[in-house]
Each structure stands twice: as C-alpha cells, then as structure tokens.
C-alpha cells in the first residue's frame, strides 16, 4: 500500500449522525462504519483532483469507488437528474460485483479528494474476509440498483406521457391549421375555391416542369341584380349556390371551380381541346336553363353567360382572364344565356 495507506483513508470525513452499528439506508450510497472499514482495509487509496474524470458513461468498468474525502458528481446524461456523492458514499458498485459492467454515468471529481478503489478481482477477498457484511452490502447494492431502475422507468414513463401529449397537441394544431388553410381558400357561401384558393392553385400549377394545357370558362349570371331586387338576397344566395353546384358537378379532380366574386365564377379544366371546353360550357348553360324551367315563382337559377378559351400555359392569369373575359363580353352583348368562344388563335393573343 502507498503513502495513502489504510491508516490515512481511515481519516475520512465522517457522515454526521451515522452510528457505527446502524444498518445503512438502502436508498442512499452511504456505507456503514463496518463496511467502510473493510473496504478501506482491502482497497487502494487514490487521490483525485477537482475536475478529474474517473470514468465515462458507456465505458466498461471493473472497479467500485468509495469516497474517503471530497465530492464526486455522477452525470447520467440527457435530461436525467445527476447525483453528487460525498464521504462514505460509494459508486460504480456493479463494476466490482459483475466486472466489465457498462457505466451508466460519467463520474467526475467535484473537488480534490481521496477515494478507495476496489477491483472486481478483489471481490472474493472481501467475501472471504467478512461474508456476512458483504452479503448485507450486496443486498443493499442490488436494492439500490433496482430502486434506481424503477425511478428511471417512472421518469421515462412520465417523459413518454409528456411526449405523447405534446404529439397530440401537435396533431390538433396541424388539424386546426389545415382547417384554417381550407377556410382561407374557400368561399363561405358556395364552398368553392375563392380568389386566394385560385392564386394558390396557380402557384402550384407553376411548379410543374411542363404545366398541362388548360381551358378556361368564365361564368357570369345574367341580370342577377334583378333576382336580388325581386326575390331578396337569400334567394339570390341560393341561385349562386346553384351555379356553384353545377360547376362542382362537372369539375374533375385536376380541374378547379372557383367563385371569383359576386356573381362571377370560373372553371379551369385540364385539356388542350376546344371541343371539350365547349362541351363543359354548353352543359353549364343548358343545365341553368333546365333549372330555370323547373322554377315556379321563386327562381332556382338565372340564365348564365360563359366566355370560353384555351390558355397559353406560358402566360399568366391576367392574360388568361383577359381572353375569357373578352369572350364573356361577347356572350353578354349577344343577349346572354349562351357560350362564346374566344376565337383569336392562342399564338396571336
Ligand atoms: N345575393 C347575393 N348577391 C350578391 C352577392 N354578391 C354580389 N351580389 C349582387 O350581385 C349583383 C351583381 O350585379 P351586376 O354586376 O350588375 O350583374 P347583373 O345584374 O347580373 O348584370 P349583368 O351581368 O350585366 O347581366 C349585385 O347586385 C350585387 O349586390 C352575394 O353574395 N349574394
């Protein structure tokens, strides 16, 4: 044994209030007098300096330490609560009992001090020297490991519950956000896309490497003001909802039906065929006519005018709208209740 002999480690800082015969508290790492004396006698003294690393989490350990003087910090990592141990307390006991045990914490000297180091190979000597004492120490050490495990499991379970509830809040917030986004791009009265929805749809359209060819139908109610004036706003609202239903019923999954505002609607259809666009347009006008014939007294519908065209994917909405609006203007000028095709070639538009 070195200068730090058994005699010098007997001069440890005693734990106040601890009787030499009292059994140790299983929940703490404080040794009884008898245990301390046995470990001091068979272990090797080791001086440590403040800040010195004794072992790292994850390393294999084969030693147990008892603190004779000073303090040692155990850091279990992440957000687990660390421990500060003082005189007569032990740590790293599984290294002594099992040998090659993976350390669950970093152990760092928090002050200059003196430790007693006991290696796995010395375990048998300890047992031979005082089997009763070591058996009691073993029971305590195992109980302490179990208590630590249980407290860890409780903490992890609590953490898990917190994470689960954070996840639930996140799902709820995402759901709310989706609903809000839906509301922002939807027209209240008709549930069709509104202008904001159209803008978002066009932004999405522009992200395609090769945007598909589109037909545009601009749909406007004829003399709609008269419906409001003669039958009131609620009836007018029902008529606008009727127009929306016609557009919704013919729009495919890639198409977009939108209320631009007031009594003006549009339908964007994915096609490069004039015939197909015209079929959509004529169906809209004819369906409105059919609904008007079914109205008795209170109108279900009013006549509709449609301006139709194919659009140039390379140009913007303003250009597309101008073409369809010019056609719509002609439809209105000819008395409404009809479709007019924008007959200028796309290339010369
Ligand atoms: N009921 C109802 N009326 C609306 C709504 N939004 C706009 N309007 C009315 O729609 C009418 C549109 O009038 P105009 O733009 O003159 O259209 P119009 O009467 O159809 O005339 P033409 O298009 O030339 O045939 C206005 O009287 C608006 O007050 C709405 O949400 N509900």
Q: Where are the domains of the chain?
A: 6-152, 195-348
The Å distance, Cα 263 to ligand 1 centre, comes to: 5
**From CA 151, how far away is CA 158, in angstroms rounded?**
10
Q: What is the pLDDT of residues 1-17, one digit of tens each?
A: 443 444 455 555 544 44
Mean confidence (pLDDT) of the chain: 89
Residues 74-82 have a mean pLDDT of 84
User: Is the CB–ligand 1 distance for residue 221 below 6 Å?
Assistant: yes
The Å distance, Cα 293 to ligand 1 centre, comes to: 21
The listed CATH number (2.60.120.10, 2.40.240.10, 3.30.200.20, 3.30.70.270) that belongs to domain 6-152: 2.60.120.10
User: Is the CB–ligand 1 distance for residue 232 below 6 Å?
Assistant: no
**From CA 270, how far away is CA 212, in angstroms rounded?**
7
Ligand 1 atom with the smallest distance to the CA of 234 is 1
- The yes-or-no verdict on residue 230 having pLDDT over 70 is yes
The Å distance, Cα 259 to ligand 1 centre, comes to: 13
Q: Where are the alpha helices (DSSP H) in 15-92?
A: 33-42
- The yes-or-no verdict on residue 107 having pLDDT over 80 is yes
Q: Which ipTM value was assigned to this complex? A: 0.97
Q: What is the pLDDT of residues 119-142, one digit of tens each?
A: 998 889 999 999 999 998 888 888
User: Is the CB–ligand 1 distance for residue 264 below 6 Å?
Assistant: no
- The yes-or-no verdict on residue 76 having pLDDT over 60 is yes
- The yes-or-no verdict on residue 33 having pLDDT over 60 is yes
The Å distance, Cα 244 to ligand 1 centre, comes to: 15
Count of alpha carbons within 13 angstroms of residue 7, beta-carbon side: 2
**From CA 197, how far away is CA 332, in angstroms rounded?**
27
- DSSP state string for 160-178: HHHHHHHHHHHHHHHHHHH
- Residue length, the chain? 349
The Å distance, Cα 270 to ligand 1 centre, comes to: 29
pLDDT tier at 28, thresholds 50, 70, 90: low
Domain 195-348 has CATH 3.40.50.720: no
Residue 21, pLDDT score: 42
Q: What is the residue with the minimal CA distance to atom 18 of ligand 1? A: 223
Q: What is the pLDDT of residues 276-310, one digit of tens each?
A: 999 999 999 999 999 999 988 899 999 999 999 99
Which of the two residues, 96 and 329, has the higher pLDDT score?
329
Q: What is the pLDDT of residues 153-203, one digit of tens each?
A: 888 899 899 999 999 999 999 999 988 888 899 999 999 999 999 999 999
């Amino acid at each position: 044994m070195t200068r730090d002999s058994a005699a010098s480690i007997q001069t440890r800082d005693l734990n106040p209030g601890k009787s030499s015969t009292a059994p140790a508290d299983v929940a703490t790492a404080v040794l009884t007098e008898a245990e301390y004396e046995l470990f001091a006698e068979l272990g090797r003294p080791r001086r440590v300096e403040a800040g010195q690393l004794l072992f790292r989490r994850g390393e294999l350990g084969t030693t147990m330490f008892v603190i004779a003087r000073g303090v040692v910090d155990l850091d279990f990592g992440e957000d687990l609560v660390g421990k500060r141990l003082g005189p007569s307390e032990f740590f790293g006991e599984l290294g002594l009992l099992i040998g090659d045990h993976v350390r669950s914490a970093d152990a760092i000297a928090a002050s200059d001090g003196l430790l007693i180091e006991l290696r796995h190979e010395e375990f048998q000597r300890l047992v031979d020297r005082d089997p009763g004492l070591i058996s009691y120490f073993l029971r305590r050490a195992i109980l302490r490991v179990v208590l630590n495990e249980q407290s860890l499991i409780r903490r992890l379970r609590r953490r898990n519950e917190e994470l689960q509830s954070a996840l639930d809040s996140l799902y709820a917030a995402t759901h709310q956000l989706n609903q809000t986004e839906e509301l922002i791009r939807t027209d209240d009265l008709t549930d069709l896309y509104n202008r904001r929805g159209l803008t978002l749809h066009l932004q999405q359209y522009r992200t395609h490497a090769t945007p598909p060819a589109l037909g545009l139908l601009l749909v406007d109610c004829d003399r709609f003001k008269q419906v409001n004036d003669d039958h009131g706003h609620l009836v007018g609202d029902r008529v606008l909802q009727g127009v929306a239903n016609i557009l919704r019923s013919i729009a495919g999954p890639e198409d977009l039906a939108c209320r631009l505002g007031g009594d003006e609607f549009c339908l964007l259809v994915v096609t490069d065929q004039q015939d197909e666009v015209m079929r959509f347009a004529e169906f809209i006008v004819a369906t409105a006519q059919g609904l008007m014939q079914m109205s008795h007294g209170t109108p279900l519908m009013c006549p509709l005018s449609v301006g139709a065209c194919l659009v140039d994917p390379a140009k913007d909405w303003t250009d597309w709208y101008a073409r369809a609006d010019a056609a719509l203007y002609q439809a209105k000028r000819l008395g409404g209740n009809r479709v007019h095709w924008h007959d200028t070639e796309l290339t010369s538009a």
